[in-house]
Amino acid sequence: MTLITKTEFITILANHYRMQLKEVMLKLFEFQDTYDCLFIDFEKKLKNASKENFEDWDNYMEWKANFNTAKDLNRKIKDIENGLFELA
């Protein structure tokens, strides 16, 4: 059996979430490059468009999911770094 300290566990878990965040951020940057705007601007533009574009809506749904995932991962990292977690 391998024992690790609470500090080591915090570091491992935070790094795990950081790796996931890095992957999500790369996807977000790809969408920003493709549409040459930020998510918020794209969302406004899409919702105010007079003609519906299904490809844009598909991309919007994926972009929004990644945007929300990035926010969630940032919150998890912050919580872990501030000791706001419990071990079972």
Give the whole-angstrom CA distance, residue 78 versus residue 82: 6
pTM of the model: 0.88
Using a 10 angstrom Cβ sphere, with 0-12 exposed, 13-18 middle and 19 or more buried, the burial of residue 36 is exposed
The pair phi, psi for residue 48, each rounded to 5°, is: -100, 0
Tens of pLDDT, residue by residue over 26-63, are 999 999 999 999 999 999 999 999 999 999 999 999 99
Name 79's Cβ contacts closer than 8 Å, sequence gap at least 6: 85
Tens of pLDDT, residue by residue over 65-84, are 999 999 999 999 999 999 89
Domain boundaries, the chain: 6-81
pLDDT exceeds 90 at position 25: yes
Tell me, what's the pLDDT at 88? 78
Percent of the chain past pLDDT 70, that is, above it, reads 100
